[in-house]
Structure 1
Amino acid sequence: MKTLLRLALAVLALLAPAAASARPGESYSYYAIGDLAAARSGPTAPALMLVGGGDWDYGAFRWFAERAGHGHIVVLRASGEGQAGEEIYSQVGGVASVQTIVFHSRAAANDARVLDILAHADGIFIAGGDQANYVRYWKDTPVAAALDAHVRRGRPLGGTSAGLAILGGTAYGAMDGGSIDSPAALADPAGPAVTLVTGFLHMPRLAHVVTDTHFAKRDRLGRLVAFVAKARLRDPRAIGLGIDEGAALCVEADGSAKLHAPPGGHAWLVEPHGTARLRAGKPLDWAGVRITGIAPDGAIDLRTLRVTRPAFSGVARVAGGKLIGAPGPK
C-alpha cells in the first residue's frame, strides 16, 4: 500500500505544475508540467503559428506540437502564471512538457537559466498581455537573440495577441501606455501614439509584415492601415496581416499558410497601392489599399502574398482619416 501511495504521489508531482520559483525582487517566475527529462518523440520542423488572441484552436496547437517533435514547449509571458502551460499539456496534449517563464523585469533576459531553457526548447510560444513589456524586457537582449536563434535552428515559434504583435519586422509596441483604436490611428498615423518598433525580432516570412490581432472583433482594420502607412516611412515594402480572435495562421517552412478558425474567422491581408499622404498631426489619405480575406478553406503564400480562394477581396481608400469601401465577410 505504501509503495502504491508513493507511486501515486510521484505521478501527481510529475503532472502537477511547479509552484512559481520567484521570490519578491526576483526577475522572473517559473512553472513546469510534464516530464522534463523525456526524449522528444519526433523531429522538429520550422514553423510559425500566428494566433489572433481569445480562445485557442486546439487543432492549430496540435499542428504546432507536431512541428515541435511532440517534445518540450516553453511559454514566455510578462503577466499571469502557468495556466497556459497547463492547458497546452493537459488539454491540447501531445507534448512531453511545458515550462513557463513569467518575466518581471529586463534583468531576466540576461539570466543564465532562462537562456538555457530557451536554448533547449523544441517549441516556443509567446503568450498575450501587454506587448510594451516584451519590448522593454527583451529588445536588444540575449532573449531576443535566443528567439531568433531558435527559429534558425528549425524549431517552431508561435505567439498570440501581444505575443503575435511583436513578431513582425515592424511591430506595434503600444509604448504610449495604451492600445490605440482605428479612428485615432487614422487621424494621426505619423503621430507619437502610433509607436512602431523595428529591429526587435527577425522571423522568416515576416520581415516586411506588420501584424495585428483581435482583428474584426475590435475593428482594427483602420489602425492596421495606419500602421502600414507609418511603417512604409522606413520599409517601402511593408504590408499588414491581421488575425481574428480564435483564429491561428499556421505557416510552414516554405511560407505556405493555412488558417484554423471558428466560423466567420479570417486572416486579413492589407496591401497598399501607391504612396500615402502622411503628415504629422494630420489625418491619413491613401488612394488605394487592397484588402483580402483568408478563410480556413483558402490559403496564403507569405513568399509571394498570393491568396488561394480568397474569402473576400477589394480595394478601399482612406480620405481625411476615414476608411472607405473596405471589403469584408458577407
Structure 2
Amino acid sequence: MKDRYLFLLGGHSFQAEANRQFLEQAGGSHARIALCIMNRPGWEDYVPLFQQMWTEAGMTQNVRVIVPDEDGNLDMGHAEQVLSWATGIFIGGGNTEKYHHYFATGPFKELLIDRYENGVPIAGNSAGALILPETCLISPLDNEQGIMMFKQGVGLFSNVLISVHYTEWDDQSNLLLGMKTGKVRHGIGIDEQACAVFINGQLASSLGESVYTVTYEDFDEDRYTIVKKTS
C-alpha cells in the first residue's frame, strides 16, 4: 500500500521546500494538482502564483481549481471530476468556518477521504490544515465571535489538535485550552513559515521554521511538555 502524505502549512502557502516535497509525492513532473480555495475578491490572482511555483518545481500540467461560485454553490460534479483527475490536492487558507463548510462535510469530505486512502497527497495551508484532522479546533483568534470552536474535521488523522499561526498569533494558550477541554493529549502548533509532514497519520518531520509538539501528561494538574522542532 502506498504511503499517505499530508503537508500541514501554518499560514504561508508558498513555502518552497514544503511545496517541492508535496509535488514530488504527487508525481513530480507528471503531477496533476487540484487547488481548493474560497471565492473571495482577487482569488483568481492567486492561481497563477501557485501555477508558477509548481511549474518552477517541475510540474508540466495546468492546475485545476475547485471554488464555490458567486452564489456560494459548489459544483460537486466538477469537484468529483477534478479530484479524480488529481494526483495531489492543495487546500488553501482563509475563513476556516467556510473552508470547513465546503471541504470538510458531506460528499466533498468523502471524496477527500477516498483520494487520501488511495495515496493522493494532500496539503493544507492554515484553514486548509485545520480541517484535515478528526477534530477541527478553531481558535478564538480565528472567528468573528471570538470563541473556541470544535468541529468534526475530515478525519485523515486522529487524537491530535492543530494550531496554525502558532507563534505569530501567540496561540499556545488556546491550543492548551482546546486540548484540556477536549481531553486530547497531543497537539501540534505550526508557525506561518513552517510545515508539519504526516506519513500514514503520524507526524514524520517538520519543514521551514518551527513546529511545536505539545503533550499533556496530566489534565487535572495542568502538566504538559512542549518540544520545538525545526528542519
Cα distance in 1 for partners of 2:13, 2:98 equals 22
Counterparts in 2 of 1:238 and 1:272: CA distance versus 1, 3 Å? closer
Residue 63, structure 1, aligned to residue 21, structure 2: yes
* 2:48 aligns with one of 58, 79, 86: 86
More helix by share: 2
Residue 75, structure 1, aligned to residue 32, structure 2: no
Cα distance in 2 for partners of 1:174, 1:256 equals 21
Residue 267, structure 1, aligned to residue 211, structure 2: yes
Counterparts in 2 of 1:246 and 1:61: CA distance versus 1, 3 Å? same
- Amino acid across the alignment from 1:201: V
Q: Which residue of 1 aligns with 2:224?
A: 289
**Deviation of the 1:155 alpha carbon:** 0.9
Runs of 4+ in 1 over 3 A off after TM superposition: 82-85, 104-107, 173-177, 252-256
Cα deviation 1:225-281 (Å, max 9, x = unaligned): 01111222xxxx4421110011112233484522221xxx210111112234xxxxx
- Amino acid across the alignment from 1:178: E
**Deviation of the 1:50 alpha carbon:** 0.8
| Structure 1 segment 240-279 matched on structure 2, within 5 A | 240-253=187-200, 255=202, 257-261=204-208, 265-276=209-220
Q: Which residue of 2 aligns with 1:165?
A: 130
Which 5+ residue runs of structure 2 have no aligned equivalent? none
Contact 2:131/2:154 (8 A) holds in 1: yes
**Deviation of the 1:102 alpha carbon:** 1.9
Counterparts in 2 of 1:179 and 1:147: CA distance versus 1, 3 Å? farther
**Deviation of the 1:170 alpha carbon:** 1.1
Q: Share of identical aligned residues, percent?
A: 23
Secondary structure at the aligned position of 1:119 is classed as: helix
- Amino acid across the alignment from 2:15: D
Q: Which residue of 1 aligns with 2:155?
A: 202
| Structure 1 segment 41-52 matched on structure 2, within 5 A | 46-52=4-10
Secondary structure at the aligned position of 1:97 is classed as: coil
Residue 131, structure 1, aligned to residue 96, structure 2: yes
What is the number of equivalent residue pairs in this alignment?
Answer: 221
Cα deviation 1:133-183 (Å, max 9, x = unaligned): 022234431111111111001110010111111112211246994274xxx
Contact 1:106/1:138 (8 A) holds in 2: no
Contact 1:45/1:155 (8 A) holds in 2: no
Name which of structure 1's ranges 156-165 and 49-58 shifts more when overlaid on structure 2: 49-58
Contact 1:46/1:67 (8 A) holds in 2: no
Contact 2:104/2:131 (8 A) holds in 1: no
Normalising by the residue count of structure 1, what TM-score does the alignment of the two structures yield?
0.61
Cα deviation 1:83-105 (Å, max 9, x = unaligned): 44322321232222211222246
Cα distance in 1 for partners of 2:206, 2:47 equals 23
Secondary structure at the aligned position of 1:230 is classed as: helix
Contact 2:14/2:53 (8 A) holds in 1: no
Q: Which residue of 1 aligns with 2:186?
A: 239
Cα distance in 2 for partners of 1:179, 1:216 equals 22
Q: Which residue of 2 aligns with 1:97?
A: 62
Name which of structure 1's ranges 145-154 and 128-137 shifts more when overlaid on structure 2: 128-137
- Amino acid across the alignment from 1:287: D
Cα distance in 2 for partners of 1:257, 1:58 equals 18
Greater C-alpha radius of gyration:
1
| Structure 1 segment 136-155 matched on structure 2, within 5 A | 136-155=101-120
Contact 1:132/1:174 (8 A) holds in 2: no
Q: Which residue of 2 aligns with 1:230?
A: 181
Cα deviation 1:27-53 (Å, max 9, x = unaligned): xxxxxxxxxxxxxxxxx8621111001
- Amino acid across the alignment from 1:49: F
